[in-house]
Amino acid sequence: MSVNWRNVGLFAAMGVVLLLTAAFQSWQLALTILNMSLISAIMALGVNMQWGYAGLFNVGIMGFTAVGGVAAVLIAMPPVPEAWAAGGFGAMLGLMLGVATILAAVAVYKRMAPGRMRGLVIFAVIVVGWVVARFFFAPATQAIQAVNPASEGYLGGLGLPVILAWPVGAVFAAGAAWIVGKVSLGLRSDYLAIATLGISEIIIAILKHERWLARGVNNVTGIPRPVTRPVDLQPLPWVQELAVRLGWTVSETAAILSALGYAALFTIVLAILIWLSEKALNSPWGRMMRAIRDNEVAARAMGKDVTRRHLNIFVLGSAVCGLAGAMMVSMDGQLTPGSYEPLRFTFLIWVMVIVGGSGNNWGSVLGAFVIWFLWVQVEPAGRWLMETVTANMDVGSDLRRHLLDSAAYMRLLTMGVALLLVLRFSPRGLIPER
Amino acid sequence: MDILSALVTLTNFVMIPAFAYGSQLALGALGITLIYSILRFSHFAHGDVMAFGTMVVIFTTWGLQAAGITLGGVLPTALLAIPVGIAAMVVYLLTVDRLVYRFFRQVKAKPLTFVMASLGVMFITNGLTRLFIGTSERRFEDGARFIFTVREFREWTGLAEGLALRSAQAITIVAALLVMVALFWFLTRTKSGKSMRAYSDNEDLALLSGINPERVVTITWVIVASLVVIAGTLYGLDKGFRPINYFQLLLPMFAAAIVGGLGSPIGAIVGGYVVAFSEMGITYAWRRFFAHLLPEDMAPDSMLQLLPVDYKFAVTFAILVIVLIFRPTGIFRGKSI
């Protein structure tokens, strides 16, 4: 396979831009951008599997990333024994009864002959199951939330190493995707979009509201990190030596080292994923997927089970998004359900995939780097622009203050313009599909 | 046992709010369904376009208020500003169409490319709205707040339970009905409306009979602009204006359009009310209602709320899923492309 020098050049240019950021702004900023770009690249890979390989339009990326983030809490946080004692049993029983209700309803739907009787029985099963589950569930969760509500008030996690949360996050997201896919795949493509949009909003609503699970809007902070924190690095003698040799402050050095640690971990994950995706894309399976994408009718005529293949790839892609979500939470060390916004976590990833080049894994990765860089840097650029525009205005004027406050929204405008320009003039993206 | 009080409670807390909310959703869903049947794509920028149009109305309202022009303190000044908003949105949407969508129409792009383009438009519109008016909540209703208040109602009827009708709700319901009637008159009685329906039913046949597709598209955007501004203003009068709320209306509006049957205007209206009434009914605490109905010793001690209000999306979604599973084309047999 010959090396595509154009693509290498594009990545090298991106690297130079990041180095320039480090030189002119700061190493910390450059590394923060790099780390988030790596995570975004993984999300974009997941979306590219769904859209680029199979043509599935998933607008629920936010939900799948958030589900992955929950895994970080459930795996890594220490359990709260008092909360388990107070209501752990009731909450689990309630949840199981809820699941049993759904399973019973599905069983009735499958076993009974269609008709009004079946509808009535299903309705009765759901109502009875709901009431019984609520009977155990509601008091138990209230008891849990009453346990030391200022810092706990939830069941806590398993207290396992946080790295474990990454695969578990992927599994969680895969489970959610399986349910959504089961319902909405096989229907029209736009329906999948609406269904995923809905499920992602519901997932965020659950995270915000169910405080017994992950403290809801009170946020879980202090999640153990996979890389030593800067605070713990600072007292180490070799860190201090390094700081002296480089002429930086100790705290700066420690922060940079910690960020480099994350960058290394994320790069490993990304490299493995790209390797796997490239293998999959060039295997018979990948060719089948593209055949389905390009001509569903023909693929079906060839005996391919299109709906099942779609479900496969939908679950796989969402799992990758869940993995990225867990990685992000473990990097931030906190889960803040209030910060999940569809523009940032769903539509921005879409811009990355389209700009980078849908159907091409390297394209998605590059798109993630370019778009995330823009997303971060447009804000200071916008502020600078606004300051130039308003330089001649009266310092106290309302218009000037309003314009300066609004600089942050320049990034939304930029993203929209970037997306439209690429769609119009280069619909195959920066690195087109081969 | 007090059936009358129970009914009054229900009307006050469920029927009136749901009817107003449903009307707003129905107007939004009508826009989505029209775009879908003429331009054949799901318009994801709908919520943000709505916010943008409402923003124009709000600025105009403030201007009018500053100039001392009001509707005598009875009706909200915003009603006067609606035509300005519609004019602005017609210009905006037609510009967007010329700059963005027309190219994709000419190259006969796939529907999902249009959807992507509408995501781009969504970002830009979203950014513009926040750039001009910010993200915080803006109130712009003036005039009389209530048609009648809880106290007045109690004095008239002597009932223990109260019932209030806010002007914003009354205006919403009346205005939505007028708009719907006008739209159906237009679609069924005028030549332009008939050409729109013909184009939606069978594009090739419509082209053969000499219908100018660009003209149909232009008319569609003009109607969508009017619907969007009216729906957005009514929603803002009723619940206050925050850009993020308009963005979040996207899901219930799409659900309404799909539940009714994408491409069917009647379906969009019915879907709007179905979604609104289910949302309200399922997130309402029924305790007071049943406390009136049941004998005193059987009065319920729990809230009797099926789901907390935070889960109103879940209700919308559940309706959507049920419809998708059992009747994918919607109640009124919309089309699927």
A415 interfaces chain B, CB cutoff of 8 Å: yes
Please tell me the distance from the alpha carbon of residue B60 to that of residue B66, in angstroms, as a whole number. 10
Inter-chain residue contact A416 with B127, CB threshold 8 Å: yes
A244 interfaces chain B, CB cutoff of 8 Å: no
Among the residue ranges A3-7, A256-260, A372-376, the one predicted with the least confidence is A3-7
* Contact between residue B171 and residue B78 where contact means Cβ atoms under 8 Å apart: no
User: How many beta-carbon contacts under 8 Å exist across A and B?
Assistant: 131
Q: With cut-offs at 50, 70 and 90, classify the pLDDT of residue B326.
A: confident
> Is residue B194 situated within a structural domain?
yes
B247 interfaces chain A, CB cutoff of 8 Å: yes
A416 interfaces chain B, CB cutoff of 8 Å: yes
Please tell me the distance from the alpha carbon of residue A24 to that of residue A188, in angstroms, as a whole number. 49
B110 interfaces chain A, CB cutoff of 8 Å: no
Helical (H) or strand (E) element with A220: strand A220-221
Question: In chain A, positions 183-222, which contact chain B (CB-CB < 8 Å)?
Answer: 183-184, 187-191, 193-195, 197-199, 201-202, 205-206, 208-209
Domain ranges (residues) in chain A? 5-79+156-425, 80-155
> Is residue B169 situated within a structural domain?
yes
Average pLDDT over residues A157-176: 92
For A302-319, how does the pLDDT look when each residue is reduced to its tens digit (9 = 90+)?
A: 998 988 999 999 999 999
> Is residue B53 situated within a structural domain?
yes
> Is residue B271 situated within a structural domain?
no
Question: In chain B, positions 117-136, which contact chain A (CB-CB < 8 Å)?
Answer: 117, 119-128, 130-132, 134
Q: Find chain B residues with C-beta within 8 A of A406's C-beta.
A: 130-132, 134
- Domain count for chain B: 1
> Is residue B252 situated within a structural domain?
no
Spatial neighbors of B206 by CB under 8 A, at least 6 apart, are B195, B198, B199, B213, B216
Q: Find chain B residues with C-beta within 8 A of A145's C-beta.
A: none
Quote the strand ranges of B175-300, DSSP E: none
> Is residue B299 situated within a structural domain?
no
R_g (Cα) of chain B, nearest Å: 21
Parent domain of B222: 3-243
* Contact between residue A38 and residue A266 where contact means Cβ atoms under 8 Å apart: yes
The Cα-based distances of A243 to A231, A235, A253, A255, A263 in angstroms read 14, 12, 6, 11, 20
How close does chain A come to B325, measured CA to CA in Å? 7
Spatial neighbors of B203 by CB under 8 A, at least 6 apart, are B213
Query: What was the pLDDT predicted at B81?
Result: 93
* Contact between residue A420 and residue B120 where contact means Cβ atoms under 8 Å apart: yes
Question: In chain A, positions 257-316, which contact chain B (CB-CB < 8 Å)?
Answer: none
* Contact between residue B84 and residue B60 where contact means Cβ atoms under 8 Å apart: yes
Residue B336 pLDDT exceeds 60:
no
Enter the pTM of the model: 0.90
ipTM, interface predicted TM-score of the complex: 0.90
Which pair of tokens denotes residue A381? Answer: 């650029």
What is the three-class DSSP state of A215? coil
Quote the strand ranges of B199-317, DSSP E: none
**Nearest residue in chain B measured CA to CA from A208:** B310
Which pair of tokens denotes residue B159? Answer: 């009932």
Provide the CATH number for the domain formed by A5-79+156-425 in this structure: 1.10.3470
How close does chain B come to A406, measured CA to CA in Å? 5
> Is residue B21 situated within a structural domain?
yes
Q: With cut-offs at 50, 70 and 90, classify the pLDDT of residue B337.
A: very low
> Is residue B289 situated within a structural domain?
no
Among the residue ranges A65-79, A285-299, A391-405, B118-132, the one predicted with the least confidence is A391-405
Question: In chain B, positions 82-101, which contact chain A (CB-CB < 8 Å)?
Answer: 100
Query: What was the pLDDT predicted at B208?
Result: 92
Average pLDDT over residues A346-371: 92
What 8-state DSSP symbol labels residue B296?
G
Q: Find chain A residues with C-beta within 8 A of B255's C-beta.
A: 194, 198
Which pair of tokens denotes residue A214? Answer: 């992950």
Residue type for A138, please?
A
Inter-chain residue contact A423 with B117, CB threshold 8 Å: yes
Supply φ then ψ for residue B185, to 5 degrees.
-60, -45
Helical (H) or strand (E) element with B147: strand B146-148
* Contact between residue A429 and residue A363 where contact means Cβ atoms under 8 Å apart: yes
* Contact between residue B228 and residue B35 where contact means Cβ atoms under 8 Å apart: no
Most confident of A140-144, A166-170, A242-246, B305-309: A166-170
**Nearest residue in chain A measured CA to CA from B102:** A424
